[in-house]
Amino acid sequence: MSLLTVKNLALGYDSHTIVDNINFAVDAGDYLCVVGENGSGKTTLMKTLLGLTGPMGGEIIAGEGFNKKEIGYLPQQTLIQRDFPAAVREIVLSGCLSGMGKRCFYNASDKAIAEKNMEKMGITHLADRSYRDLSGGQQQRVLLARALCAAGRMLLMDEPVSGLDPKVTLEMYELINNLNKEGMTVVMISHDISAAVKYANKILHIGGNVFFGSVDEFLASEAGKFLSGESVDKR
């Protein structure tokens, strides 16, 4: 079942189109990696899927029974955000804000969801620590736990391993892969083509040539051959 269907989407800003004619669908349980050159519109696409910015053309259709409020979002982190002085538990809990409606305070259910996701990310022991004092990998786990508090059925991530060392990068990829195996639909922007073809079941390439299809189809395409340098094997 398709959760989101994108038809003839055009992206841009200030009346300037970056990319157009984007067509793809995200089905329940998919692991979709969005790849492309810098400046090709990947982050703009994600913000458009979230409704944070409007499309310049085309449409995004939510599947029957799917609400965009069921999407959790893990954006790229800024240097200022890395120095945020709040406690880990408060940051994770803030992921429940979108579902609170007119409530002004977290309830027992919100706190239980936050505790569950901290446990899932292996950061329960960090709950009372200041976010600013954590390592880069620990911070990403906190932000992923926060996103999961909002993610009923779909998780959108923008370069979730950016700036992490190889060991922590692999750990983060495995965490995300396990979430997908548990039923979470994943849409992830990545510059790491080898990881994209290892973990994803679908690839969307945007830029000069828009491509959407399976991993094998991507590797056989012009975009796939160019980005992989003919050296990436699906593992």
Identify the residue with better confidence: 229 or 116.
116
pLDDT cut 90: percent of the chain above it: 70
- pLDDT tops 80 at residue 101: no
- pLDDT tops 60 at residue 231: no
pLDDT in tens, 14-61: 778 889 999 999 999 999 999 988 888 899 999 999 999 889 999 999
Q: Which 3 state secondary structure label does DSSP give 82?
A: helix
- pLDDT tops 70 at residue 232: no
pTM of the model: 0.90
Q: DSSP per residue over 89-131, as a string?
A: HHHHHGGGGGG-TT--S--HHHHHHHHHHHHHTT-GGGTTSBG
Q: Which 3 state secondary structure label does DSSP give 181?
A: helix
> Which H/E stretch holds residue 81?
helix 79-82
Q: For residues 26 and 62, give the distance between their C-alpha atoms in angstroms, rounded to a whole number.
A: 10
Q: Which 3 state secondary structure label does DSSP give 153?
A: coil
Longest dimension (CA), the chain: 54
